[in-house]
Amino acid sequence: MTKPLIPSSMCAAAVLMTSLLIAACSGTAAGTQPANAGGPAASTGASGGAPRCANPAASAINQVGGAYASELANAVCGMSDIDPCSMLKQADVQALFAFPLGRSSTDHLGNCSWPLADPNNGDGMNVSVSNDNDQHALANDISLPSPGASGQFAVRPLSGVGDSARWELLGGYFPHVGAIKGQATCELTVDGGDAQLSVKTTGKDVFATIDPVALPGFIQKFGALCNEIFAGLGA
């Protein structure tokens, strides 16, 4: 069974201080940027000609402070400011869920979550996107079938999404799609049970499973969100 991946471009920064990154980035509303998108790591030089940091996450990290904050902020400053959820049509996301969506949030490093308005109904969807031509980990993840996996645990190809795409049911239950187009990667994961989804299921609550007949059509609509993101990236 494969697992959703953290984009490899974040790994070096995350090693320095994963907890600080989480604290600094969580809760930032999708599509919004702090007024000061620079901070110490991104301020102009003495001559006043140095460009400011383009990634709001660097400012957030500097504001939290702490050990290695400056180093981490500088690393983040050079990363692309990507908000995948802002590239999605809300109506298309809502069509996949049986309950109203809440407000999406992003860490401006290509990761966002789109929860349900009422968390008692489920956890919604997580999105992870990269556009830095560093796709080896995801390429391996979606190109190789899970060793010994079969049935609901198998990794399967998904046509019509990007240049290459695969899907699986994490733990045998939760839909997960990984796709590549050009230098861009897209991962989508549903968290919190299948009963929240707008698709026929069998069983109840956390034990609900997507009806096998309805599953292919649902996965195709789920994966189509990656195509919207690729279009938003110009991939």
Q: Candidates 3.30.70, 3.40.1000, 3.90.70, 3.40.50; correct CATH number of 84-233?
A: 3.40.1000
Contact in structure between 161 and 224 (CB atoms under 8 Å): yes
Separation CA 221–CA 89 (nearest Å):
13
pLDDT tens digits, residue range 189-214? 998 889 999 999 887 766 788 999 99
Separation CA 93–CA 96 (nearest Å):
6
Separation CA 61–CA 58 (nearest Å):
5
Task: Give, as one character, the DSSP assignment of residue 4.
Answer: P
The residues of the chain that CATH labels 3.40.1000 are 84-233
pLDDT tens digits, residue range 42-77? 433 334 433 467 777 777 776 766 666 777 777 777
Longest dimension (CA), the chain: 66
Whose tokens are 């045998």? That residue is 172
- Per-residue pLDDT at 20: 36
Separation CA 228–CA 66 (nearest Å):
38
* Helices and strands, counts by H and E, the chain: 6, 9
Q: For the CA atoms of the chain, what is the radius of gyration?
A: 19
CB-count exposure of residue 22 (10 Å: 0-12, 13-18, 19+)? exposed
223 or 41, which is more confident? 223
Strand partners, 189: 126, 176
Separation CA 102–CA 163 (nearest Å):
31
Other CB atoms within 10 Å distance of the CB of residue 217: 10
pLDDT tens digits, residue range 100-158? 999 999 887 889 999 999 999 999 999 999 887 555 556 555 554 454 555 666 788 99
